[in-house]
Amino acid sequence: MTRLFLSIALVGLSLLVTGCQIPNRSEAPRFEPRANLKFSTVEAEKGNQQTLLQPSQELFRLGPGDQIQVEIFGRPTSRADLTVGPDGKIYFDLLPGTDVWGLTINETKRTLEAKLEQYHVGAQVSVNLRAVGSKFIWLLGALERPGIYPATSPVTLLEALSLAGGTQRSRSAVTTVDIADLRHAFVVREGKVLPVDFQRLLEKGDMSQNIYLQPEDFVYVPSGAAREIYLFGAVRQPRALPLSETPTLVAAITAGGGTVRDAFVSQVAIVRCSLTTPQIAVVDYKDILEGRAADIPLEPRDIVFVPFSPYRYLRNYADAILNTFVFTVAANEGANLFGGDNAGVSIGVGN
């Protein structure tokens, strides 16, 4: 479990430390920063969606924490419930430690039978998986029962959300409105954000978004009740900011302690709408500060990003911003799960 959190944290921190880098090549159209607010919609890469809609054909492989039941046929007293140890070994009958880490159930059966041959000629063994303690799916955020769930078999995103009780709903006596922010929900797999639109899946019933999850997938659904602006990048205090009565770009960056010394303020970005079809506006913050352009009003859950260096291509810039947002949020949620309220990596996203 901790390997996933550590990898997400390292990716998030790397993105925050290195900031924006000018890409070498891209076929995307170039853009020129403008002082006036003009949003451009950037379509997310779809990837191989059909592959995501198919269950993994990989057989379950044992790891530390998994529990199995082993028995030699014809010898009921040999039955034993075993837990794979931290070293990947189990101890059964007269055998010394048998390494089963990475083996399937059938491979474990054959391994035990071969090793038992010296003690029980022709012995046949049954091996059954009793509980999973090595493979998990992370389901965090605005869910009724957020947590880390064992990945015992292939499961779809809808099935996983159902295991977690579904998205949170208002506790008000007069309404049961869903308070999850589906536009900013995401799934991370092996350091990559998967192209999944939670809004289309849960509100419109679009089953093309109902992907199969795999062990160590990280699913996060933010709370829609938190009226916040997300500020990060080259600012002194990157974090989630509570929405003020008159939220503006200057007020948000000022609340974050202002920009750092090496910030490239001519391409400050405001990202709005969903993660799958984000709208991005790039503004010259220096013009605003010096009175050559008007301040810009912000909306709840806007993402404000101050780069460290310039970008030439809008698509690459949007990807960098959203990846930084996703991995920072994921790292914070993982840190809070293990270390409490003060273990966040960068910006805290409230539930």
Residue 296, pLDDT > 70, answer yes
Tokens, residue 328: 């920072």
Taking residues 187-212, report their average pLDDT. Answer: 92
Q: In Å, how far are 2, 101, 216 from 65, measured between CA atoms?
A: 14, 10, 15
Residue 21, pLDDT > 80, answer no
φ and ψ of 337, to 5 deg: -65, -40
Residue 55, pLDDT > 50, answer yes
pLDDT of residue 171: 58
Confidence of residue 153 (pLDDT cuts 50, 70, 90): confident
Q: What is the pLDDT of residues 99-140, one digit of tens each?
A: 999 999 999 999 999 999 999 999 999 999 999 999 999 999
Report d(CA 147, CA 336) in Å as an integer. 12
Average pLDDT along the chain: 82
Provide the β-strand partners of residue 270: 281, 304
| Between 85 and 16, the higher pLDDT residue | 85
pLDDT over 90, % of the chain? 53
State how beta strands 136-141 and 147-150 pair: antiparallel
Q: What is the pLDDT of residues 223-280, one digit of tens each?
A: 887 788 899 899 999 888 888 777 899 999 999 999 999 899 999 999 998 888 889 9
Same fold, 2-51+227-339 and 137-221: yes
pLDDT of residue 51: 86
Q: Which CATH number is 67-131 given?
A: 3.30.1950.10
Instruction: Return the closest-CA partner of residue 68 out of 120, 111, 28.
Output: 111
pLDDT of residue 332: 78
pLDDT of residue 48: 62
pLDDT of residue 101: 96
Q: Among the CATH numbers 3.40.50.10490, 3.90.170.10, 3.10.560.10, 1.10.3720.10, which is that of 2-51+227-339?
A: 3.10.560.10
Taking residues 64-92, report their average pLDDT. Answer: 95
Report d(CA 3, CA 13) in Å as an integer. 15
In this structure, of 2-16, 132-146, 289-303, the range with the lowest mean pLDDT score is 2-16
pLDDT of residue 49: 72
pLDDT of residue 170: 59
Using H for helix, E for strand and C for coil, what is the string for the chain?
Answer: CHHHHHHHHHHHHHHHHHCCCCCCCCCCCECCCCCCCCCEECCCCCCCHHHHCCCCCCCCCCCCCCEEEEEECCEEEEEEEEECCCCCEECCCCCCCEECCCCCHHHHHHHHHHHHCCCCCCCCEEEEEEECCCCEEEEEECECCCEEEECCCCEEHHHHHHHCCCECECCCCCCCCECECHHHCEEEECCEECCCCHHHHHHHCCHHHCCEECCCCEEEECECCCCEEEEEECECCCEEEECCCCCEHHHHHHHCCCECCCCCHHHEEEEECCCCCCEEEEECHHHHHCCCCCCCECCCCCEEEECCCCCCEHHHHHHHHHHHHHHHHHHHHHHHHHHCCCCCCCCCCCC
Residue 345, pLDDT > 70, answer no
Residue 17, pLDDT > 60, answer no
Residue pair 265/303 in contact by the 8 Å Cβ criterion: no
Residue 329, pLDDT > 90, answer no
Taking residues 90-94, report their average pLDDT. Answer: 94
Taking residues 151-162, report their average pLDDT. Answer: 92
Residue pair 350/228 in contact by the 8 Å Cβ criterion: yes
Q: Which residue has the tokens 């921190």?
A: 13
Q: Which residue has the tokens 């998967």?
A: 194
Taking residues 140-169, report their average pLDDT. Answer: 91
pLDDT of residue 331: 82
Residue 19, pLDDT > 50, answer no
Taking residues 91-95, report their average pLDDT. Answer: 93
Q: In Å, how far are 50, 144, 166, 351 from 201, measured between CA atoms?
A: 15, 18, 13, 21
| Between 260 and 19, the higher pLDDT residue | 260
pLDDT of residue 4: 56
Taking residues 194-199, report their average pLDDT. Answer: 92
Confidence of residue 5 (pLDDT cuts 50, 70, 90): low
| Fold held by 137-221 | Outer membrane lipoprotein wza fold like (3.10.560)
Report d(CA 240, CA 230) in Å as an integer. 4
Residue 14, pLDDT > 90, answer no
Residue 22, pLDDT > 70, answer no
pLDDT over 70, % of the chain? 81
Would you tell me how many other CB atoms lie within 10 Å of the CB of residue 243? 17
The b-or-e profile of 77-102 (16+ CB within 10 A means b, else e) is ebeeebebeeebbbebbeeeebebbe
List the chain domain ranges: 2-51+227-339, 67-131, 137-221
